Amino acid sequence: MLGIFLVGQFLEGNVLAPKLVGESVGLHPVWLIFALLAFGYLFGFVGLLVAVPACCHIGVLARFRAAALSGKLALYRREIELSDKLV
């Protein structure tokens, strides 16, 4: 009975929860686990509370920057079109 409980807790904590949280915030579960480990190590319990929101912010900024650099962000395309007309 104890073994079933421990296996269930392990699977829920290390597999199921990161997958569900990762899908809801748009991050891969490995990034979430890494963020929890790093923030928990650096900042303790408060780091564990801040890890997922901070990782989400970093992910959004990284995606925004990648879109801007690849030219898929409409905000920058408009500026490029205007500068082409001025030349």
Residue 2's pLDDT band, with cuts at 50, 70 and 90, is confident
Residue 44's pLDDT band, with cuts at 50, 70 and 90, is very high
Residue 86 has pLDDT above 70, yes or no: no
Residue pair 32/16 in contact (Cβ under 8 Å)? The answer is no
Q: Which amino acid would we find at residue 3?
A: G
Predicted local distance difference test score (pLDDT) of residue 77: 53
Percent of the chain as helix, strand, coil, to the nearest 5: 90, 0, 10
Question: Would you state the structure tokens that stand for residue 4, as one six-digit string?
Answer: 């079933």
Query: In the predicted model, what is the mean pLDDT of the chain?
Result: 78
Task: Give the residue with greater pLDDT, 49 vs 76.
Answer: 49
